[in-house]
Amino acid sequence: MNTANFPWLTTIILFPIAASLLIPFIPDKEGKTVRWYALIIGLLDFALISYAFYTGYDLNEPGLQLFESYAWVPQIDLNWSVGADGLSMPLILLTGFMTTLATLAAWPVTWKPKLFYFLMLAMYGGQIAVFAVQDMLLFFLVWELELIPVYLLLAIWGGKKRLYAATKFILYTAGGSLFILIAALAMAFYGDTVSFDMRTLAAKDFAINFQLWMYAAFFIAYAVKLPIIPFHTWLPDAHGEATAPVHMLLAGILLKMGGYALIRMNAQILPDAHAVFAPVLVVLGVVNIIYAALTSFAQRNLKRKIAYSSISHMGFVTIGIASFTDLGLSGAMLQMVSHGLIGASLFFLVGATYDRTHTLMLDEMGGVGQKMRKMFSMWTACALASLALPGMSGFVAELMVFVGFATSDAYNPTFKVIIVFLAAVGVILTPIYLLSMLREIFYGPENKELVEHEALVDAEPREVFIISSLLVPIIGIGFYPKILTQMYDASTQQLTARLRAAVPTLVDNPQPTNPLPMALQKITSAPKIGK
């Protein structure tokens, strides 16, 4: 069988969507058959993603691979154009892996199971499409369509304030998406040629003032999704009302769409504007890290505590994107994948704990580790991963961002020292609030009222399997980061060279091969940007 010309990405995107359309015809009222059907479809699609990556993806090729393009609506130059490179392939693999585990996490769902699993499979294809499409107008369409299943999953299966959380989510994200459409149309019609193709747009010679306006429009849309403070307030509410599988998709995949789009649209297509906005991204990243860490520290609701922790960790992504170094941008990519795994594991454990204690308030817990030793072990391992323990993926990602930014020759030394110091404060706060959280849940005397009224059964095999499946890549990447970084090194190096070319003082200044000694040499260097 000749697989070289097979439409892998189109198949991977459309297969779960087409399979979801068959769910209404499955004779099943309690959901026992449909959940197996959804899980099998998820596994098959993840297998297709893995096979396409193994057979058709070259780790040393920085450009698009597995590329397909078909005319869809030629009158407005709308093409079904999909492809994968180092910026998107790791996130496509993460989407397949995470959505399959989220489907398994949804095993206890018995309320309208057909609709639930229909939305899960439809969202599966939509999420992959966001990372794969290479047409700006098509990107806007799949970005919008992907919001509908999330809204319904929140509004129907959420908590007591689910309608408020779902409405806030759709208003923030859909409102921000309008800026994508406005910028896409403006860029497509700029100049003599009309095109929505991302590669064509990246090659256009946009005026700097035009780039700045387009960058700002894209930034608003992606700052909502990432999320960047002050566009973040929808996330704690959404996480506060979501169920465990929706938590996993929100933390594991949806936030990464903002980071990916910020790299793909803002940095890659508008490099001159990125050079102007980069110091702003760095400052906002530090604000994310410290403000969200302090807010998480003050939360007494377990879901909201982990939600603000997610916002804090995503601050490293914006700093890495703005570092102008291979190491910093590579750290941003690694942080997105790492946080996708760690955030999903923590939110799954939040859901599993709530199923047993029927409370999310830390004040009402205490001493439950005596009866739930497996849960205690899993919570401890995932919390240590979140606080960036050496040997876990989070440590490698944050270290790469720190070193990449600290050794960047694009900023003056004073600015770098201040940013690194403030970011380090956020890093110190993280283990404090996470270890305090573990102490309040599992240590100390038992809450007698909780123990007497709730059946504190330990983790079941399905839950142990899900957490184990997440911990394997978390620890594997922590000990051998190259297993992931080699997927995108060629692409990030090419993009970094493009970004550095947009800063005149960096054009003839190659990056150091050994960044730490070079950092010492740069202490007395002249300011560049970020004055």
**3-state SS class at 247:** helix
First to last CA, the chain: 59
- For the packed helices 208-225 and 271-298, what is the interaxial angle rounded to 10 degrees? 20
Q: Quick one: pLDDT at residue 526?
A: 35
Gap between the Cα atoms of 504 and 117, Å rounded: 52
CB-CB contact of 343 with 310 (8 Å)? yes
Tell the burial category of 210 from Cβ atoms under 10 Å away from its Cβ (0-12, 13-18, 19+). Answer: middle
**3-state SS class at 84:** strand
Tell the burial category of 206 from Cβ atoms under 10 Å away from its Cβ (0-12, 13-18, 19+). Answer: buried
Gap between the Cα atoms of 236 and 240, Å rounded: 6
CA–CA distance from 239 to each of 166, 182, 252, 309, 375 (Å)?
10, 29, 12, 12, 21
> At CA 302, angle to CA 114 and CA 472, rounded to 5?
70
Using the structure block, give the residue that is written with the tokens 């459309």.
14
Neighbours of 166 (CB within 10 A): 23
Q: Quick one: pLDDT at residue 508?
A: 64
Gap between the Cα atoms of 499 and 495, Å rounded: 6
For every residue of 62-112, DSSP letters joined together read: -S-EEEEEEEEEGGGTEEEEEEE-TTTHHHHHHHHHHHHHHHHHTTT--SS
| Phi/psi at 8 (5° precision) | -60, -50
Gap between the Cα atoms of 310 and 336, Å rounded: 11
Structure tokens at 253: 């995949």
Gap between the Cα atoms of 433 and 387, Å rounded: 9
Q: What is the 3-state secondary structure (H, E, C) of 108-172?
A: CCCCCHHHHHHHHHHHHHHHHHHHHECEHHHHHHHHHHCHHHHHHHHHHHCCCCHHHHHHHHHHH
Structure tokens at 186: 């403006």
Q: What is the DSSP letter of 263?
A: I
CB-CB contact of 401 with 320 (8 Å)? yes
Strands 78-84 and 65-73: antiparallel
CB-CB contact of 323 with 408 (8 Å)? yes
Does the model's pTM come out above 0.85?
Answer: yes
Nearest to 224 by CA among 195, 198, 259, 275: 259
Handedness of CA 383, 387, 391, 392 (dihedral sign): positive
Gap between the Cα atoms of 383 and 100, Å rounded: 23
Q: How many CA atoms lie within 13 A of 103 on its CB side?
A: 32
CB-CB contact of 260 with 139 (8 Å)? no
Nearest to 66 by CA among 44, 46, 81: 81
CA–CA distance from 136 to each of 175, 182, 186, 220, 225 (Å)?
18, 11, 11, 16, 17
10-residue stretch averages of pLDDT, the chain, 531 residues long: 76 95 86 90 95 92 91 82 94 95 90 91 94 94 90 89 90 91 92 87 91 94 90 87 89 91 94 94 94 91 92 94 94 94 93 86 83 90 93 93 92 93 91 91 79 77 94 95 93 93 76 46 39 36
Q: Quick one: pLDDT at residue 502?
A: 87
Using the structure block, give the residue that is written with the tokens 């492809």.
83
Q: Quick one: pLDDT at residue 519?
A: 38
| Phi/psi at 389 (5° precision) | -65, 135
